[in-house]
């Protein structure tokens, strides 16, 4: 019927804390606008700036999207392709994978994936194919947050069940440590942090917008957080904020670590971290008085000693008893579906089955090196991620991808820098084009991803692509062909949300109950001892100290600077880097330099500077500002190298040209914020 208006509710499935509800406006059967759902508790009628632009920009633009399978016709990296049919594409891929598996072993097929679409099907389903194949998986969290997961695994036995944000109504203090919600959780920044009575304390080397808005801002030098926490704990113990009963009942290792606190005075803390002793006292007293929430960011653990920092910070809630009661808790990432199924009780501890080691895995930090060699990589299957833009050692990544004896397949919605190296490119449908489920990793909300239009061109959802690939390979196992509805229904049943798919689809989203959920109130934890393991035999067996240590990273020497490159306000990792309006809003790639450093090097605002290290050299426009400490530089991550990259001249590289793949102390994860560079005028 002409002029018919339809509103479909769906959910934003980006790798984002907020998990916003979306209202898609259709007219005459066509999507006209993608807006925030006014009824959703997080989005409240507004998407973040980047999604408001990109979902109404490149994501709806047939000229920007990949519409057909492609076969490479020019040199690798040149971006020259011809369209082919799905049958040709799938039979070519199946033939190649089978030949590699037969001749060299299926573990020489490496697949890499992450959070392109963060949902039950588009994220979860394809792994069934790769497990069946026996391919090597690049452990996805090693590009992002694995140090924190491993560290809190030692301490709490679980890093996926933090506080329910709704409990903040009972909090007196919210401590945000090494996260930047103003970029990475814009609605939590705008609403959640501001609407509670609690005193907000931010700890970050960068005075970002959330820090600016906080009641108290502590600005340590990067990589000094463990020392800062020890100094705060010293104050809390001295001022009687420790909860002796909680420690006696639920914490293992207090006596072992307590002597280390003796010398960690606030004055010592100031020397180690650059944070004035009086501010350490104030933060410690506010947090220690409580009830307090502790939010540890993912940026925080991207340090060489990120694991130790996380174990150290776990002592704040553990020693002050800020756990298991209203207004108190700790948070890293919430697996909302998993939490739903446990409803506040202690999670059942499930030991991994020793009979099924699963497919082998490698760290993202090893990829640039291993990619050079046919001994590890014969085929590289890339889906839901863009490693040329996001991985360390970009120049080495490109060299590996140029290998003639490497068969590369890239599945994406867009022709990314990585897709330019593919032998075969497969077009992925966007989240607006299939049904699925998504949940926030902060709020306890779950959303329906609802199909709003047919997949653009010949594109297909990830899950359907891998069903077809299974068929082309001749695989017979039934679970490789399970249909979408069955997976959706099972996920909803497992999560026990009290809604079926039809109800969820109509409403768009559901919260887990009406009242805040208090996790860990029973006081037992899925660790070997059932207690919070500040002293960990498992950590010791893995080669780490038994208890956390008050370490600080050595300051950069020989005139080098520490380069931070956290989340950009206008990008979602590399996503949206190809949207012209987003590019315009970001402007030229900038690096922030402290006025003292700029003065010493005679660098004026707006001039071009070069950052270099062993991995490469890149040009930025200098922005002189004191929102970072001297000796530190700030830029943001993951522009599209071929759009404007990190080089002001559009030199085909971004900041990851400089990112060295040094592994964190735990979890073989990225320590990108430990990157050091020299700074010169160009
Ligand atoms: N310098 C620096 N680098 C960093 C970081 C940093 O802090 N500093 N942070 C790191 C972190 S935290 C992360 S998580 C990584 C992220 O890096 P990546 O995992 O590479 O994530 P994205 O860049 O968002 O790439 C996602 C891709 O998936 C595509 N996509 C979207 N939806 C779908 C879909 O449904 N199907 C398919 N097949 N594709 C889809 C998008 O178009 C996009 O190209 O970057 C890391 N890189
Ligand atoms: N707009 C936008 N939102 C995003 C993303 C995006 O690219 N853009 N990416 C998504 C992804 S994949 C992730 S993992 C999350 C990440 O989001 P967050 O968890 O907020 O992490 P980051 O933005 O990487 O870094 C957060 C802060 O850590 C600080 N930091 C760096 N080094 C140190 C240190 O030594 N000590 C302390 N205390 N702080 C330090 C940085 O200065 C930065 O302000 O955001 C998600 N949301
Ligand atoms: S990226 Fe995050 S803030 Fe933006 S619309 Fe999606 S969920 Fe909301
Ligand atoms: Mo991430």
Rounded mean pLDDT of 143-170?
97
CA 433 – CA 428 distance, rounded (Å) = 10
DSSP-assigned states of every residue in 380-436: EEEES--HHHHSS-HHHHHHHHT-TT-EEEEEESB--TTGGG-SEEEEBPPGGGS-E
C-alpha 187 to ligand 3 mean position (Å): 8
- Ligand 1 pocket, residue 142 CB under 6 Å: no
Residue of 638, 572, 110 whose CA lies nearest to 394: 638
CA 223 to ligand 2: nearest atom: 35
How is the chain split into domains, by residue range?
70-143+360-444+454-498, 146-332+528-541, 560-681
In the predicted structure, residue 344 carries a pLDDT above the cut 60: no
Residue 221 Cα, ligand 1 centroid: separation in angstroms?
28
Beta bridge partners of 620: 609
Q: What is the pLDDT of residue 498?
A: 86
Determine the Cα–Cα distance for residues 154 and 538; give it in Å rounded to an integer: 7
Give the residue from 108, 93, 124 showing the smallest Cα distance to 469: 93
pLDDT at 353 over 80: no
Residue matched to tokens 């070069």 = 610
Closest to 40 in 3D by CA, of 489, 331, 448: 448
Whether 667 has a pLDDT exceeding 80, the answer reads yes
Give the full edge-to-edge strand order of the sheet including 21-27: 5-11, 21-27, 30-36
CA angle centred on 255, ends 253 and 257, rounded to 5°: 70
List Cβ neighbours of 118 (8 Å cut-off, separation of 6 or more): 13, 14, 15, 438
CATH fold group of domain 70-143+360-444+454-498: Rossmann fold (3.40.50)
Tell me the β-bridge partners of 331: 295
434-450 pLDDT, tens digit each: 999 999 999 999 999 99
Kind plus residue range of the DSSP H or E element containing 21: strand 21-27
What does the pLDDT read at residue 336? 81
- Does any ligand 1 atom lie closer than 6 A to the CB of residue 117? yes
- pLDDT tens for each residue of 523-549: 999 999 999 999 999 999 999 999 999
The angle that helices 225-238 and 254-261 make with each other, rounded to 10 degrees, is: 100
Nearest ligand 3 atom to alpha carbon 187? 3
Ligand 1 atom with minimal separation from the 413 CA: 42
pLDDT exceeds cutoff 80 at 343: no
pTM for this predicted structure? 0.97
CA of 293 to the centre of ligand 3 (A): 23
Provide Rg for the chain, Cα atoms: 25
pLDDT at 466: 98
574 lines ligand 1 (CB under 6 A): yes
Band the pLDDT of 339: cuts 50, 70, 90.
confident
Give how far Cα 630 sits from Cα of 76, 85, 221, 593, 619, Å. Answer: 42, 56, 9, 8, 20
% of the chain exceeding 90 in pLDDT:
92
Q: Tokens 């000229």 belong to which residue?
A: 63
pLDDT on residue 325: 97
Q: What is the pLDDT of residues 298-331, one digit of tens each?
A: 999 999 999 999 999 999 999 999 999 999 999 9
Instruction: Give the model's confidence band at 348: pLDDT under 50 very low, under 70 low, under 90 confident, else very high.
Output: very low
CA–CA dist 373, 55 (Å, integer):
39
Given this model, what pLDDT does residue 1 score?
52
In the predicted structure, residue 490 carries a pLDDT above the cut 60? yes
Q: Under a CB-based contact definition with an 8 Å cutoff, are residues 606 and 681 in contact?
A: no
- Write the class of the CATH domain 146-332+528-541: alpha beta
Assigned token pair, 95: 């033939």
Instruction: Give, using CA atoms, the residue closest to atom 4 of ligand 3.
Output: 48
Residue nearest to atom 6 of ligand 3 (CA): 12
pLDDT single digits (tens) 4-51: 899 999 999 999 999 999 999 999 999 999 999 999 999 999 999 999
Torsion of CA 401, 405, 411, 413, to 10 degrees: 50
Q: Which two tokens stand for residue 138?
A: 């690049």
Run of H or E including 448: strand 445-449
| Choice from 184, 229, 554 to test ligand 2 binding pocket (greatest atom count within 8 A of CB) | 184
pLDDT recorded at residue 2: 58
CB of 16 sitting under 6 A from ligand 2: yes
- The answer to whether residues 631 and 597 touch, using CB atoms and an 8 Å cutoff, is yes
pLDDT in the model for residue 354: 44
DSSP annotation string for 76-116: TTS--EEE--HHHHHHHHHHHHHHHHHHH-GGGEEEEE--S
Ligand 2 contact via 183 beta carbon (within 6 Å): yes
The whole-number average pLDDT for the span 609-626 is: 96
Residues 364-405 pLDDT 10s: 999 999 999 999 999 999 999 999 999 999 999 999 999 999
% of the chain surpassing 70 pLDDT: 96
Q: Are 71 and 81 in contact (CB under 8 A)?
A: yes
Q: At what angle do helices 462-473 and 126-133 cross, to 10 degrees?
A: 30
Full DSSP string of 231-288: HHHHHHHHTT---HHHHHHHEE-HHHHHHHHTT--HHHHHHHH---HHHHHHHHHHHH
Closest CA to 57 of 587, 430, 562, 513: 430
CA distance 332 to 577: 27
Q: Is the CB of 118 under 6 A from ligand 3?
A: no
Mean pLDDT, residues 140-164 = 97
* N residues, the chain: 682
DSSP state of 189: I
Q: Which two tokens mark 551?
A: 């370490």
Per-residue pLDDT band at 359 (split at 50, 70, 90): low
Please report which residue ranges of 428-553 form alpha helices under DSSP H: 462-473, 484-495, 501-507, 537-541
What's the chain's average pLDDT? 95
398-418, pLDDT tens digit by residue? Answer: 999 999 999 999 999 999 999
DSSP β-ladder status, 70-72 and 424-427:
antiparallel
Rounded to an integer, what distance in angstroms lies between the CA atom of residue 447 and that of residue 372?
41
- Residue 465, helix vs strand vs coil: helix
Which atom of ligand 1 sits closest to the CA of residue 572? 24
Name the residue with tokens 């959920």: 517
If one compares 358 and 479, the residue with the highest pLDDT of the two is 479
Please state, as a whole number, how many other Cβ atoms lie within 10 Å of the Cβ of residue 279: 18
Residue among 199, 202, 290 nearest 240 (CA)? 290
Residue 347 clears pLDDT 80, i.e. is over it:
no
Q: What integer pLDDT is reported at residue 360 of this predicted model?
A: 84
Nearest Cα neighbor of 251 from 307, 311, 170, 332 is 311
Quick check: 15 and 30 in contact, CB under 8 A? Answer: no
Pairing of strands 173-177, 632-634: unpaired
For the cut 70, the answer to whether the pLDDT of residue 212 exceeds it is yes
Residue 345: pLDDT over 80? no
Q: Would you report the helix, strand and coil content of the chain in percent, each value rounded to 5?
A: 35, 20, 45
536, 526 in Cβ contact below 8 A? no
Give the model's pLDDT for residue 647: 54
User: What's the rounded Cα separation, in Å, for the pair 10 and 436?
Assistant: 10
Mind listing the pLDDT tens digit for each residue in 224-263?
999 999 999 999 999 999 999 999 999 999 999 999 999 9
Q: Dmax of the chain from CA atoms? A: 76
Class of domain 560-681: mainly beta
Checking if the pLDDT of 660 tops 90, the result is yes
Q: How far is the CA of 662 from the centre of ligand 2 (A)?
A: 18
Q: Ligand 4: distance of its center to the CA of 451 in Å? A: 26
* Interval between CA 186 and ligand 2 midpoint (Å): 12
> Mean per-residue pLDDT for 638-653?
74
């Amino acid at each position: 019927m002409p002029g018919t208006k339809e509103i479909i509710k769906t959910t934003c499935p980006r790798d984002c804390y907020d998990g916003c509800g979306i209202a898609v406006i259709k007219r005459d059967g066509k999507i006209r606008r993608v807006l925030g759902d006014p009824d959703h508790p997080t989005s409240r009628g507004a998407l973040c700036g980047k999604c408001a632009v990109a979902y109404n920009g490149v994501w709806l633009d047939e000229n920007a999207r990949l519409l057909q399978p492609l076969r490479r016709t020019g040199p690798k990296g040149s971006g020259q392709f011809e369209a082919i049919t799905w049958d040709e594409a799938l039979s070519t891929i199946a033939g190649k994978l089978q030949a590699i598996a037969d001749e060299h072993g299926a573990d020489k097929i490496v697949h890499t994936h992450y959070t392109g679409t963060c949902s039950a099907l588009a994220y979860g389903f394809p792994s069934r194919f790769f497990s069946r194949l026996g391919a090597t998986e690049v452990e996805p969290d090693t590009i992002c947050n694995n140090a924190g997961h491993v560290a809190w695994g030692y301490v709490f036995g679980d890093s996926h069940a933090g506080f329910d944000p709704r409990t903040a109504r009972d909090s007196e203090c919210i401590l945000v440590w090494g996260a930047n919600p103003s970029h990475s959780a814009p609605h939590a920044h705008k609403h959640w942090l501001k609407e509670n009575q609690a005193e907000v304390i931010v700890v970050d080397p960068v005075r970002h917008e959330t820090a600016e808005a906080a009641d108290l801002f502590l600005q340590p030098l990067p990589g000094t957080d463990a020392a800062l926490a020890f100094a705060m704990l010293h104050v809390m113990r001295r001022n009687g904020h420790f909860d002796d009963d909680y420690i006696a009942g639920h914490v293992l290792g207090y006596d072992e670590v307590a002597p280390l606190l003796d010398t960690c005075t606030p004055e010592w803390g100031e020397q180690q971290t650059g944070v004035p002793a009086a501010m350490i006292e104030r933060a410690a007293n506010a947090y220690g008085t409580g009830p307090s929430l502790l939010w540890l960011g993912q940026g925080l653990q991207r340090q060489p000693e990120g694991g130790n920092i996380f174990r150290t910070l776990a002592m704040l809630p553990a020693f002050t008893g800020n756990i298991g009661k209203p207004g108190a808790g700790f948070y890293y990432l919430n697996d909302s579906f998993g939490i739903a199924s446990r409803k506040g009780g202690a999670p059942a501890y499930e030991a991994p089955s020793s009979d099924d080691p699963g497919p082998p895995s490698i760290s993202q930090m090893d990829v640039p090196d291993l990619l050079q060699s046919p001994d590890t990589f014969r085929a590289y299957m890339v889906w839901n991620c863009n490693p040329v833009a996001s991985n360390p050692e970009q120049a080495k990544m490109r060299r590996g991808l140029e290998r003639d004896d490497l068969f590369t397949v890239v599945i994406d919605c867009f022709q990314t820098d990585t897709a330019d190296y593919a032998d075969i490119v497969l077009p992925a449908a966007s989240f607006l084009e299939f049904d699925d489920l998504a949940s926030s990793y902060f709020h306890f909300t779950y959303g329906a991803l609802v199909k709003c239009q047919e997949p653009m061109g010949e594109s297909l959802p990830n899950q359907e692509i891998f069903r077809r690939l299974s068929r082309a390979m001749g695989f017979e196992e039934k679970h490789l062909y399970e249909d979408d509805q069955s997976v959706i229904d099972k996920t909803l049943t497992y999560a026990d949300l009290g809604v079926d798919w039809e109800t969820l689809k109509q409403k768009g989203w559901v919260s887990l109950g009406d009242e805040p959920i208090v996790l860990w109130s029973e006081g037992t934890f899925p660790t070997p001892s059932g207690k919070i393991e500040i002293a960990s035999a498992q950590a010791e067996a893995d080669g780490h100290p038994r208890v956390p240590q008050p370490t600080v990273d050595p300051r950069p020497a020989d005139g080098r600077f520490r380069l931070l490159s956290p989340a950009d306000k206008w990008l979602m990792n590399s996503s949206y880097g190809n949207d012209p309006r987003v590019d315009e809003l970001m402007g030229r790639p900038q690096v922030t330099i402290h006025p003292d450093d700029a003065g010493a090097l005679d660098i004026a605002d707006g001039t071009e500077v070069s950052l270099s290290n062993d991995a490469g050299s890149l040009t930025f426009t200098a922005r002189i500002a004191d929102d970072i400490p001297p000796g530190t530089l700030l830029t943001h991550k993951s522009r599209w190298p071929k759009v404007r990259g990190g080089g002001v001249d559009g030199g085909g590289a971004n900041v990851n040209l400089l990112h060295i793949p040094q592994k964190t102390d735990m979890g073989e994860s990225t320590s990108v914020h430990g990157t050091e560079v020299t700074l010169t005028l160009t």
